[in-house]
Amino acid sequence: MFGHRPDGKLVRGVDPIIALTPYLMPMRCDAQVMLSYRVEYERLARYIVKKGGEGVKITFMDLMIAAYVRAVSQMPEINRFIVNKRFYARNELTCSFVVLQNTRNGSVAENTTKCKFDPHDTIYDVAARVAKAIQDSRKEDADNSSIKVAKLLLNPVLATVIAGLARILDRYGLMPRYLIDASPFHTGLFVTNMASIGMPAVNHHIYNFGTTSQFVSIGNVQRTTELTPDGKPYVKRWLPLGVVADERVTAGMVYSKMITEMIRYLTNPELLEKPPEQVFWDEGNKYSEPKVPLKRRRRRSSAALRLVFRRRRNRAA
């Protein structure tokens, strides 16, 4: 209440034009901007295969999230959110996504998880955190905080009352931290991998409930016919991305720079292997540490480790 929230710090000195937008567009569905992008599939696929040969498993979603984490480390304004017409700088760097669960009877079951990151994370750190979150959520008997809260709302009457109360508490910054941590809708980015179920990229709406500011979907590979410099046709594959953003959060120029940087990282994924030279903070609001911090910022691949051990043996001999 009075501008205090457990998940963010009130932003002061917002540009007057931007500060006015929540009054003109009070809900996120009023202000969502839908964009479509595509990145070169071959570059990412070759990189993933290369890292797989080194014993490091990396997925397309890992790369997309890592590009977002790196963009936030350089442009922390994109990690803001708006509640009750006020701007807040998020005090954590999070991403939510849906995980398909393994079931004994073969039925389709889903679980939603939220993963916390550090702005210094490399692609190896991001992949490790995402893999751990997916492993914990994919089990049939997985019972994370999101599922626990959902089970409490099976009764329609109880669900209506609790959901209404949650909206009021969230609006005035009174929602308990446990419920915020349990909610996948209180996150900086929501990702859905539509390609995993054979679907094209979609421009998914962002939720009015919660604090989600961006939603990105990854779609099935697209094929186009291109021409070489000497005029010969060839088939080129693209990975489509559907991006939906709350345009009220920051200036359009900042969003433009965010997309440009993310595409640059996805076009050159090797740039994500080292931590950023400098991390910037919004309103001096440093993020809380992930629950399971990684012991090392940089990971050496198994091939690199074998080379190190071989050199040590040679020196000992």
**What are the extents of the domains in the chain?**
4-316
At 4 the pLDDT is 83
At 34 the pLDDT is 94
SS3 state of residue 174: coil
pLDDT tens per residue across all 317 residues of the chain: 667 899 999 998 888 889 999 999 999 989 999 999 999 999 999 999 999 999 999 999 999 999 999 999 999 999 999 999 999 999 999 999 988 766 566 666 677 889 999 999 999 999 999 999 888 877 655 555 555 666 666 667 777 887 888 899 999 999 989 889 888 999 999 999 998 888 999 999 999 999 999 999 999 999 999 988 888 998 999 999 999 999 999 988 999 999 999 999 999 999 999 999 999 998 777 787 676 555 444 444 445 545 544 554 555 54
257 and 245 Cβ atoms separated by less than 8 Å: no
Domain 4-316 part of CATH 3.40.50.2300: no
Distance CA 184, CA 115 (A): 9
Q: Is the dihedral of CA 112, 144, 287, 167 positive or negative?
A: positive
User: What are the distances in angstroms from CA 148 to CA 151, 154, 155, 181, 288?
Assistant: 5, 11, 14, 12, 24
At 305 the pLDDT is 45
At 62 the pLDDT is 96
Strand pairing partners for 112?
Answer: 98
**Beta-carbon contacts of residue 221 (< 8 Å; ≥ 6 apart):** 41, 195, 237, 238, 239
Q: What angle do CA 85, 90, 93 make, to 5 degrees?
A: 145
Distance CA 215, CA 244 (A): 5
Distance CA 222, CA 232 (A): 20
Q: Is the pTM of this model over 0.75?
A: yes
254-257, long-range: CB within 8 Å, 24+ apart, which pairs?
254/75, 254/77, 254/78, 255/33, 255/78, 257/75
Give the type of residue at 267: T
